[in-house]
Structure 1
Amino acid sequence: QPQYSPMSVEKQIAIIFCGTRNLLAKVPVNKINQFEEDFLTQLELKHKNILEGLRSGKLTDELTSELEAVAKEMAAKYAS
């Protein structure tokens, strides 16, 4: 996260999830920051339930699957 721009815990979890699940492997390094911005915007606008689930601390299989699907869809747009 950029300096002086705090990020909520649920957004941090979503981004870390992408990295630990190797979902960003095909995203060029120079596009990671843009992916992160767009991914978080997508979650805020169309998948608030995911952020709410992450905020609650209850990471269910359903929530994990949905988060992974959104991340894969977004990452595919950035793949070189």
Structure 2
Amino acid sequence: MVEKKMDSEVETTDVVKMTCPKDAMNYDLSATYCKGDKIFHELWEDVGVVEETGVTEDGCKKMVVRFEKNGKKKLIMEFTAK
């Protein structure tokens, strides 16, 4: 017997597992991302889903991404070298 999860029990990790690298954007420090975007982090060889976005105390744009293998990570976005 297969146990079916209710919608409230489906975790973000389940969403990440349904994402394959070819369906995700390559992570780029200078790019802009929105909640729900799927990204592929080349260095970690991992796929994740953006859970939230915001701004750091020093004004840098950031996002929280839940990766399939690496869990939740905070990453910067829209970064430009000065």
Q: TM-score, normalised by structure 2?
A: 0.23
Bigger fraction of residues in helix? 1
Bigger fraction of residues in strand? 2
Q: TM-score, normalised by structure 1?
A: 0.23
